[in-house]
Amino acid sequence: METMQRRLRESPVITSVVSVLLGMLVGAIMMIAAGYNPIQAYQALFMSAFLMPYDIGETIRTISPLILTGLAVGLAFRTGLFNIGVEGQFIIGQLAAVIVALKMDLPPVLHAVVAVLAGALGGALWAFLPGLLKATRGVHEVITTIMMNFIALYLANTLVRNWLSQGADSTETIPESASLRWDLLSQAFGNSRIHFGIFIALATALFMYYLLWKTTLGFELRAVGLNPHASEYAGMSVKRNLIMSMMISGLFAGLGGASELLGTSGYLAIHGSHTGIGFDGIAVALLGANSPLGIVFAAVLFGVLTYGGPVMQFEANVPTEVIRVVFAAIIFFVAANVVRWMMSKFGNKAVKKSD
Amino acid sequence: MIDTLTNILQTMVLYATPLILAAMGGLYSERSGVVNIGLEGLMTIGAFTAAVTTLATNNPWIGLLAAMLAGIILALPHAVASVTFKADQVVSGVAINFLALGISVYLVKAMYNGKAQTPTVLETLDRLPIPGLSQIPVIGPAFFNAFPTTYLAVFVVFLSYFLLYRTPFGMRLRAVGEHPRAAETMGVNVFLMRYIAVLISGALAAIGGAGLSIAIGSEFNETTVAGQGFIALAALIFGKWNPFGALGAATFFGLAVALALTGQIFGLTNYVPSEVLNMLPYILTILALAGVVGRAEAPAAIGKPYETGGR
């Protein structure tokens, strides 16, 4: 009884599932408070993603970048790093990909591959500085990466305005040769914008699993995250691992940005504020307990909610922003480990009663 | 030329004001050892509440007060999560940001028939000229014909300095952020001090946000705050977690924005793209953290949840 209770209390799956339900409860309360019907709203929300092949395709398209940004945040978390900079690395991934797509002339497939790799490299390099500063000068990565997010945003904007276009608000559309779209795939899903990004995302999840649990580097990354002092004592270089972790995390984020640009939008526009996909990655990673499989499932849930939001607004009249509230509540419940607290309260009562 | 200079200084003060107030908010929280990434969200809820309340009551002062209250209420979950539940303070702050933007845009749409912005607020806080001083050329119009929130911001800076460095309350608050165990040994209630600090943080950041919707601007929408909470955080760090440092940093960041906005007039943007000027606050903050421009040293116990009876 005791061990089963503890196992339940410490299982990340239980924590995540209960947190999601609590989060949706908060959303329902918000809806009732504003005079909407939560049952109708949630029905529209979840049904919308699976109505037609087109919707399924679009939902998968929404999920793909969330998997990648979630993996990016999750990998850094494993080494004890909080990479809030995934948003900025995502933008640099987009920027590097669009530069290769527009400025280089390569045959089909190869062009797309080079553009994707450029995005990944860009993301990794953008994460290098925060990693270096953390390793050499002990500067907290949260602050540097937040600053780097804004620098990335303005850098992309100035390059789009002054170099990639002649003073316009967005670049031209990328050539067919660099696109990640595939007509057969798109047609199979009712001409939606689904693209190769989902395969990149799933392959990256597999890669993260392999890296963390099947390689020496991965072992070191996790060891540093669990106990940097012990790792140092065991002869691992904590500094090197911190920098590596940030760069691999940035690489995942860059892949997300590149595939989103080459697959979904096809051009880079000037943005007044951040895309939000990088920040959503934080929620995805937390909910997925930083495990590759958990992150994929969490991204599916967040993707379904994100895609379903506008449909819910249309059908049940509930503003889409209630989804953001649900996300926020889920983050709170996972972070504060409210579930474990509830179980310990509940568990103690049960034990007392049986006495 | 004189006009341009006046214009630049005026814009600088305009942009610095909300940053100063929010940075002062961050000051209390971070000095007590609680990281506050949630400044952005606290400003957002302040801007939203101020706009909506002023629209309902036609009195911007009530709007300002309501914003303060909303900031305190929204800061409460951050305090509960990071002090009582010992959650990761950065994660909790991120959640605050999500929550604030979600709730405010959701409620705006629910209240105004699905529109994503509030109607224009007609009764806003107007510029308040200080007799005599506002007549001084160049400086007068910028510094002494400012919005009430600007005077309030400067007052809060002086008050915060006094509170933090000249009163027992401030001593205790800083002690809790540097060495909570020692503070507790001396009989300071670490949890209570951190709760108070986080709630003050919410009140001040929300007032800063309120200025954006009922003084400088006159409506609330999704982009009213747009990252200014993060610049305020940068100002706090660049100002080395010190009230006057943060005031100086916020003013300097305001100048960068003013130059980016007015740079076109005197041809500055021909040499430097306005985006580069926009980047300046963030680049400088990184340099300060890296120790290139002075050394920014964080409070020692920042980000660490406190465990009574631990070692």
pLDDT given at position A304: 93
Residues 14-53 of B with CB under 8 A from A: 35, 37
Contact A139 B107 (CB under 8 A): no
CA distance B96 to B259: 32
Helices (H) and strands (E) in chain A, counts: 16, 0
Count how many Cα atoms sit within 13 Å of the Cα of residue B126 in the half-sphere of its side chain.
Answer: 6
Q: From CA B79, how far away is CA B90, in angstroms rounded?
A: 12
Chain B positions in Cβ-Cβ contact with residue A137 (cut-off 8 Å): 289-291
Q: Are B212 and B228 in contact (CB under 8 A)?
A: yes
B32/B297: higher pLDDT = B32
Q: Between residues 192 and 251 of chain B, which touch chain A (CB distance below 8 Å)?
A: 223, 226-227, 230-231, 233-234, 237
Query: Region B19-39: what's the mean pLDDT?
Result: 95
Bridge partners of B145, per DSSP, are: B129
Q: Is B270 on the interface with A (CB under 8 A)?
A: no
Record: contact B102-A337, CB cut-off 8 A = no
Helices (H), chain B: 2-31, 39-57, 60-79, 89-111, 139-143, 148-166, 168-178, 180-185, 190-214, 228-238, 243-262, 274-290
Rounded Cα distance between A303 and A25, Å, is 19
Supply the pLDDT for residue A9.
59
Rounded Cα distance, A75 and B187, in Å: 41
Instruction: Please name the member of B95, B97, B226 whose beta carbon is closest to the beta carbon of A335.
Output: B95
Map tokens 């500063």 to a residue.
A133
* B36 phi/psi in degrees, rounded to 5: -125, 85
Q: How far is it, in rounded angstroms, from Cα B81 to Cα B26?
A: 17
pLDDT tens sequence across B68-89? 999 999 999 999 999 998 888 9
ipTM score above 0.90: no
SS3 category, B238: helix
Chain B 128-167, residues with CB within 8 Å of chain A CB atoms: none
Report the pLDDT value the prediction gives residue B141, as an integer from 0 to 100: 80
Of the candidates A139, A279, A335, the beta carbon closest to that of B92 is on A335
CB contact under 8 A, B95 and A146: no
pLDDT at res. B298: 79
**Cα nearest neighbour of B226 on chain A:** A273
Residues of B in contact with A325 (CB under 8 A): 98-99, 102-103, 106
Helices A12-33 and A38-48 sit at what angle, rounded to 10 degrees?
130
DSSP A185-234: HHHHTTT----THHHHHHHHHHHHHHHHHHSHHHHHHHHHHH-HHHHHHT
* 3-state secondary structure (DSSP) of residue A1: coil
Mutate to test the interface with B, among A154, A162, A338 (most CBs of B within 10 A): A154
Neighbours of B311 (CB within 10 A): 4
Q: Which amino acid does the sequence have at B57?
A: T
d(CA A221, CA A212): 7
Q: Rounded distance, CA A313 to CA A203, Å?
A: 34
Residue ranges in B58-179 assigned as alpha helix (H):
60-79, 89-111, 139-143, 148-166, 168-178
Structure token digits, residue B71: 């900031």
Strand pairing report for B145-146 and B128-129: antiparallel
pLDDT range class, residue B226, cuts 50, 70, 90 = confident
Could you read off the pLDDT of B118-137 as tens digits, one per residue? 999 988 888 888 888 888 87
Q: Write the CA distances from B63 to A316, B48, B121, integer angstroms.
A: 31, 10, 11
Confidence at B205, pLDDT banded by 50, 70, 90: very high
A/B interface, count of CB pairs below 8 Å: 140
CA distance B17 to chain A (A): 20
Phi-psi region at A2: left, alpha or beta (left = phi > 0; alpha = psi -120 to 50): alpha
Residues 6+ apart with CB under 8 A from A261: A93, A94, A97, A98, A101, A119, A174, A267, A268
CA distance A88 to A69: 11
Provide φ and ψ at B30, rounded to 5°: -70, -35
Q: Which residue of A has its CA nearest to B41?
A: A328
Could you give the CA distance from residue B170 to residue A82 in angstroms, rounded to a whole number? 30
B129 φ/ψ sector (left φ>0, alpha ψ -120 to 50, else beta)? beta
Q: What's the pLDDT at A349? A: 53
Q: Give the chain B residue whose CA is nearest to the CA of A333.
A: B81
Nearest CB neighbour to A335, from listed B88, B99, B289:
B88
Nearest-CA distance A335 → chain B (Å): 6
Tell me the residue length of chain B: 311
- B186 backbone dihedrals φ, ψ, rounded to 5°: -85, 5
User: Element (H or E) spanning B88, and its range?
Assistant: none
Contacts of A154 in chain B (CB under 8 A): 275-276, 278-279
For residues B257-278, average pLDDT: 78
Q: How far is B104 from chain A (nearest CA, A)?
A: 9
Question: Token pair 């600053």 is at which residue?
Answer: A147
Structural tokens at position B268 = 């500055």
User: What whole-number distance in Å separates Cα of residue A144 and Cα of residue A127?
Assistant: 10
Q: In this predicted structure, what is the pLDDT of residue A354?
A: 46
Q: Find the distance separating the first CA and the last CA of chain A, reported in whole Å.
A: 14
Percent share of chain B, pLDDT over 90: 59
Collapsing DSSP to helix, strand or coil, B128 comes out as strand
Q: How far apart are CA B64 and CA A143, in angstroms?
A: 30
**Residue B310 — pLDDT band, cuts 50, 70, 90?**
low
B285 interfacial to chain A (CB closer than 8 Å): yes
> Would you call B230 and A158 a contact, using CB atoms and an 8 Å cutoff?
no
In angstroms, rounded to a whole number, what is the distance separating the alpha carbons of residues A304 and A3? 35
**B279: distance to nearest CA of chain A, Å?**
5
Mean of the per-residue pLDDT values for chain B? 90
- Burial of residue B166 (CB within 10 Å: 0-12, 13-18, 19+) is exposed
Say what the pLDDT of residue A110 is.
96
Residue listed under structure tokens 């034990």: A351
All structural domains of chain B: 2-290 (1.10.3470)
Enumerate the residues of chain B whose CB falls inside 8 A of the CB of residue A279.
Answer: 94, 97-98
Q: What is the pLDDT of residues A184-207, one digit of tens each?
A: 999 999 899 999 999 999 999 999
Do residue B278 and residue A154 have CB atoms under 8 angstroms apart?
yes
Q: Would you call A287 exposed, middle or buried from its count of C-beta atoms within 10 A (0-12, 13-18, 19+)? A: buried
Given an 8 Å threshold on Cβ–Cβ distance, is B102 in contact with A279? no
Q: Choose the closest CB to A336 out of B35, B85, B285.
A: B85
Is A162's CB within 8 Å of B85's CB?
Answer: no
Shortest distance between the Cα of B165 and any Cα of chain A, in A, equals 26
- Return the ∠ at Cα B305 (arms to B71 and B24), rounded to 5°: 35
SS3 assignment, position A134: helix
List the single residue in A with minimal CA-CA distance to B100: A325
- The H-or-E segment that residue A303 falls in is helix A292-316
In chain B, the residue whose alpha carbon lies closest to the alpha carbon of A137 is B290
Which of B215, B231, B226 has its CA nearest to residue B20?
B231
- Asked whether the beta carbons of B41 and B100 are under 8 A apart, the reply is yes
| Minimal CA separation from B102 to chain A, in Å | 5
Q: Closest Cα partner for A73 from A324, A237, A240, A256? A: A256
Q: Mean pLDDT in each 10-residue stretch from start to end of chain A (355 residues)?
A: 60 86 94 92 86 91 97 95 95 97 94 97 97 90 91 95 88 93 90 94 98 95 92 92 97 97 94 86 92 96 92 88 92 82 66 46
| Contact flag B226-A273 (C-beta cutoff 8 Å) | yes
Give A329: exposed, middle or buried? Use CB within 10 Å, 0-12, 13-18, 19+: buried
Chain A interface, best mutation among B19, B34, B94, by max A CB count within 10 A: B94
Are B114 and A319 inside 8 Å of each other by CB? Answer: yes
A308-322, B59-73, B189-203: least confident range:
A308-322
**Closest to A302 in 3D by CA, of A267, A334, A254, A271:** A334
Q: Residue B5 is encoded by which pair of tokens?
A: 């200079």
Residues in chain A within 8 Å Cβ distance of B291: 137
B291 touches chain A (CB under 8 A): yes
- Identify residue B149 by its one-letter amino acid code: T
